[in-house]
């Protein structure tokens, strides 16, 4: 069942231990989250481990999210005492703002300590949220493996930036159980949980239900629908008919329809969408 999404491989336990072991050497934590799901993509385990350590919350994939919601979430996290930088780690948009902020943090820290030392940072986040793409942008070359599949990065990597700052990359980490079923769904919608572990047709149907409620116009425009169905399944079947996803015997190809909807949501083709709104 989709409601019981539960994915916590052994390497995630090791990642948690790695973060705990290295935290004492770190001056600053960069927490990468998905701007489309600013709550669901924040791992409560990371929050517990890091505690009061200074933190930059990087709202990645800002271009895929609703711009008005990006501003609201940034304001909220700033009010909680965090640094916040909206960014697109794939294109590098927002990188100059991040590097400028890190320079100011290092300068302020050195003034407080009364000596110069390059900033040591740790990057954390859930799988497939953009950590490796961020690192590639920060160090100016491709040294960290990247991929659109969660769990590509394994093991600890210390990297040095051109300005001398040091960066510790950690693999993506989820938590043992999602107390709120919507959290697991949101992570699955955005690709932070492997598609192979769930029924894609059911997952896409759940996404269509959410979009039908919150972004009906975008759904109609993308799939050229005059009206949405009374139920999510009706809309899904209409999308299949519009796209010609029909199997022999005039049966709906739910699998192909599901992959199309999920892929087009994840790539921003349906529109700029934020699934968790800042109330």
Is 60 annotated in some ligand binding site?
yes
Q: Are 85 and 98 in contact (CB under 8 A)?
A: yes
Is 63 annotated in some ligand binding site?
yes
Is 129 annotated in some ligand binding site?
yes
Beta bridge partners of 93: 88
Is 133 annotated in some ligand binding site?
yes
Helix axes 181-189, 200-214, angle to 10 degrees: 100
Question: What span, in angstroms and rounded, lies between the C-alpha atoms of 157 and 127?
Answer: 16
Q: Are 242 and 234 in contact (CB under 8 A)?
A: no
38-41 CB contacts, 8 Å cutoff, 24+ apart: 38/73, 38/274, 38/276, 38/278, 39/183, 39/186, 39/276, 40/182, 40/183, 40/186, 40/187, 40/275, 40/276, 41/125, 41/126, 41/129, 41/186, 41/187, 41/190, 41/192
Is 130 annotated in some ligand binding site?
yes
Beta bridge partners of 124: 31
Is 172 annotated in some ligand binding site?
yes
User: Which parts are annotated binding residues?
Assistant: 60-63, 128-133, 172
User: Which parts are annotated binding residues for GTP?
Assistant: 60-63, 128-133, 172
């Amino acid at each position: 069942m989709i409601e019981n999404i539960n994915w916590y491989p052994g390497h995630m336990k090791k990642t948690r231990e790695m973060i705990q072991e290295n935290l004492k050497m770190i001056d600053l934590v960069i927490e990468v989250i998905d701007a489309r799901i600013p709550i669901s993509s924040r791992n409560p385990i990371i929050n517990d481990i890091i505690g009061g350590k200074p933190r930059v919350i990087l709202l990645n994939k800002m271009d895929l999210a609703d711009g008005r919601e990006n501003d609201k979430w940034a304001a909220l996290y700033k009010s909680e005492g965090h640094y916040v930088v909206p960014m697109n780690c794939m294109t590098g948009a927002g990188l100059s703002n991040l590097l400028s902020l890190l320079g100011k943090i290092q300068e302020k820290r050195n003034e407080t300590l009364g000596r110069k030392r390059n900033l040591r940072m740790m990057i954390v986040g859930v799988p497939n949220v953009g950590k490796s793409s961020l690192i590639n942008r920060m160090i100016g070359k491709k040294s960290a493996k990247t991929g659109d599949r969660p769990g590509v990065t394994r093991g600890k990597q210390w990297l040095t930036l051109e300005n001398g700052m040091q960066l510790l990359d950690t693999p993506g980490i989820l938590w043992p159980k999602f107390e709120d079923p919507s959290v697991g769904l949101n992570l699955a919608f955005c690709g932070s949980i492997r598609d192979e572990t769930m029924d894609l047709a059911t997952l896409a149907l759940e996404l269509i239900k959410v979009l039908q409620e919150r972004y009906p116009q975008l759904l109609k425009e993308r799939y050229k629908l005059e009206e949405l169905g009374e139920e999510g399944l009706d809309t899904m079947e209409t999308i299949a008919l519009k796209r010609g996803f029909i199997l022999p015997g005039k049966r709906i190809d739910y699998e192909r329809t599901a992959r199309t909807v999920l892929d087009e949501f994840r790539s921003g083709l349906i529109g700029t969408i934020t699934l968790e709104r800042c109330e």
